[in-house]
Amino acid sequence: MREIAVVVGAGGREHALADGLSRYGAEVWVAPGNGGMVQDVKLLPADSPGAIIQQFPDQHPLVIIGPEAPLAAGWADTLREAGFRVVGPSKKAAELESQKRVAKSVMTRYRIPTAEARITFRPEELHQWIHAEADWPHVMKQSGLAQGKGVRVVYTREEALATLREWTERPHIWREGVLWEEYLEGFEVSVQVVTNGRDYAWFPVAQDYKRLTPDPESPNTGGMGAVAPLRILDATVVEAINERILDPVMQYLTDEHLTYRGVLYAGLMITSDGPYVLEFNVRLGDPETQVIIPIVPVNWMDFWLALSEGVVPQIPPAQGAAVGIVVAASGYPDQPKTGLSFTLGEDLDQTRIFHAASQMREGRWENTGGRVLTVVGLGNTIGEARERAYERVRRIQFPLSYYRPDIGARWS
């Protein structure tokens, strides 16, 4: 009898997780998934942990929770209490992501290097801070979940005031709070580790391209592409990340007796003074997952099962490299057009397409959201992987779509 795995989520990250599991013989369900996944997995229209429990009343399969919202809502707690094996932290532990003000408090308490910040729940107070600020640029950050779109780097007082006016019209933002944060100079990397709340093991280091375009002042998105592995962190920096950031987080989880069997993502800025935390996520990144799953040579079913049981599995070195390019619909990230038809074109060896917001309708592909596909190229080097990824993207016919032309160029 085949092992059963349920991946919670609907995006490209979840498609990549499901793809890794299915390659090792698992029966894979995705809840709720999207129409682009149906060729590979079974879809379960679940909008609550109860729906998963009802679907599997006796089997209690492995459940891997991909997105942040179900983790913040406590799905992992409910499923564990029902006897399921779960990859994902408890609701309380998930506050490291779901409440950025909580994460800042933890970092202050445990002396984890991060940007200095103040938090306010009142637009008029932030208005005063903006007018009093003399040093630019600055960072405005929503404390609550915002699907990767709640951070603005503002380069002038006018930009800050424009963002304030926009956010003032959304009362839910102020219920969670807004951080006014110093701007850090350096280069960004995504460090992701699997952990049981005490021990941890590193995935290959990746880099996410958050800006919509190569212009450093273009809007933040959920991610327009990713590259892995990046071998740019020397032993001194890795040691500093372990000792100053990851070890203190483990101490926090231990001190607070928090259940954490999953992935901790540290978005870092490597500055001239060492690594600083930009954000913590309590799950795999998207699109980083799409470039990590294909290059880590493990049996993914055994890997996630071990983690769900509190055992931190070993992670072997990456085999080759991967470059992922997100194909987005016109209008993304603010108002993406939907219902646009596209064709995938001819396949290409050493490439994969992970669906994030697509469905087949009347024999044609159409998009259902902004980030539609992640096209991944594989190779012995980043340059080789990049060449394949862009060649595969060029075979896709998708009017009114956009992708960044520079993913991986710096590392080729």
Count other Cβ atoms within 10 Å, centred on residue 360.
12
Provide the token pair at 228: 């892995």
List Cβ neighbours of 282 (8 Å cut-off, separation of 6 or more): 68, 71, 88, 89, 93, 94, 96, 97, 98, 260, 262, 263, 264, 265
d(CA 245, CA 252) in angstroms, rounded, equals: 11
d(CA 69, CA 109) in angstroms, rounded, equals: 26
Average the pLDDT over each of 10-14, 24-28, 243-247 and give the range with the smallest value. 24-28
Beta bridge partners of residue 27, listed in sequence order: 4
The answer to whether residue 202 scores a pLDDT higher than 90 is yes
Most confident of 40-44, 213-217, 371-375: 371-375
The answer to whether the predicted template modeling score (pTM) of the entire model surpasses 0.85 is yes
The answer to whether residue 217 scores a pLDDT higher than 90 is no
The answer to whether residue 355 scores a pLDDT higher than 80 is yes
pLDDT value of residue 161: 96
Region of residue 257 (phi > 0: left; psi between -120 and 50: alpha; otherwise: beta)? left
In 3D, which of 195, 73, 207, 219 has the Cα closest to residue 145?
73
Q: Please state the rounded mean pLDDT for residues 116-141.
A: 95
The answer to whether residue 219 scores a pLDDT higher than 90 is no
Q: Please state the rounded mean pLDDT for residues 27-33.
A: 96
Give Cα separations from 50 to 75, 79, 91, 156, 304 (angstroms): 9, 8, 16, 48, 22
Count other Cβ atoms within 10 Å, centred on residue 155.
14
Question: What does the pLDDT look like over 173-195, one tens digit per residue?
Answer: 999 999 999 999 999 999 999 99
Provide the token pair at 85: 């094996």
Q: What band does 146 get if pLDDT is binned at 50, 70 and 90?
A: confident
Question: What does the pLDDT look like over 365-401, one tens digit per residue?
Answer: 999 999 999 999 999 999 999 999 999 999 999 999 9
Q: For the chain, give the percent of residues with pLDDT over 70.
A: 100
Q: What band does 7 get if pLDDT is binned at 50, 70 and 90?
A: very high
Give Cα separations from 93 to 69, 79, 178, 310 (angstroms): 13, 15, 21, 15
Q: Please state the rounded mean pLDDT for residues 86-104.
A: 97
**Which H or E run contains 375?**
strand 371-379
Q: Please state the rounded mean pLDDT for residues 119-129.
A: 96
Q: Please state the rounded mean pLDDT for residues 130-138.
A: 95
Q: At what angle do helices 300-308 and 12-22 cross, to 10 degrees?
A: 110
Average pLDDT over the chain, rounded to whole?
95
Domains by residue range for the chain, with CATH: 4-87 (3.40.50.20), 116-182 (3.30.1490.20), 185-308 (3.30.470.20), 321-411 (3.90.600.10)
The answer to whether residue 1 scores a pLDDT higher than 70 is no
DSSP state of 79: H
Q: Which residue has the higher pLDDT, 149 or 63?
A: 63
The answer to whether residue 201 scores a pLDDT higher than 80 is yes
pLDDT value of residue 59: 87
